[in-house]
Amino acid sequence: MDTFADKIISFCLSLDFNGSLPEGISVMNPFRNNPRAMDMVSQFYSKFYSDNMERRLILGINPGRFGAGVTGIPFTDTVRLKEKCGLVIQGLKSFEISSVFIYEMIDKYGGPEKFYGDFYISSVSPLGFTSAGRGGKEINYNYYDSKQLTAAIKDFAVLSLKQQIAFGIKRDVCFCLGTGKNFKFLSALNDELRIFKRIEPLEHPRFIMQYRSKQKDSYINNYIKKLKSFGSTGIPLNRINT
């Protein structure tokens, strides 16, 4: 029987986007474009997900160039993978500010083994996008940055979500990273498909680190409170026996 890790690794290997993109937008697929990323993916998920336990899903937006676009693992960089997860791939180096917040939160939750035993992090679009900035330099482009791209990735997002649900995802709640456009899109998608009983928003780590860094500890506490508010039965703890 395939483990949770086996299913994730197979999913990553098969990821491809064949739809039509708006002019000037390119797909970023670390699983095909960066062999070292797939190496890291295999090590990471084999370490933390080699079991058949159910987990709850946390969905970000889409991979960025300095996070999952390098490592293949959402909200990680090579610094956190080495320091917090004990994983090193030679020749791979990255720094992502969102990863700083996520791993401080994970530490407070109880550490990587406990956190990843309870949760699986992915993205509404598991592949990222870039556009050409000034001087032709590639910059991150989110799936919701244009209506054309949002429409173009919808079927891909739905298929990817359904494939990941089959890993062993609890469907009582899905945590959404981003209280604005990502939450709006995911909520509308869930209203249409009825995959989860509810979508619970959390402020996006990049927004926190970029604009609310002085309140970082407060945001971490809010994450922990929300993430721990669901018991093993899928019922919010504060609603049990009431």
Place of tokens 């799936």: 143
Q: What is the pTM of this model?
A: 0.93
Say whether 177 sits in a helix, a strand or coil. strand
Any residues with CB less than 8 A from the CB of 212 and at least 6 apart, and which? 203, 219
Q: Is 60 exceeded by the pLDDT of residue 231?
A: no
Give pLDDT, residue 238. Answer: 44
Give the torsion through C-alpha atoms of 156, 158, 163, 169, to 10 deg: 140
Any residues with CB less than 8 A from the CB of 182 and at least 6 apart, and which? 59, 60, 61, 124, 144, 176, 204
The number of beta carbons lying within 10 Å of the beta carbon of residue 27 is: 19
Domains along the sequence of the chain with CATH? 4-15+24-230 (3.40.470.10)
Tell me 131's DSSP state. E
* pLDDT digit string, tens, across residues 114-165: 999 999 999 999 999 999 877 778 899 999 999 999 999 999 999 999 999 9
* pLDDT digit string, tens, across residues 58-69: 999 999 888 888
Q: Is 50 exceeded by the pLDDT of residue 98?
A: yes
Tell me 111's DSSP state. -
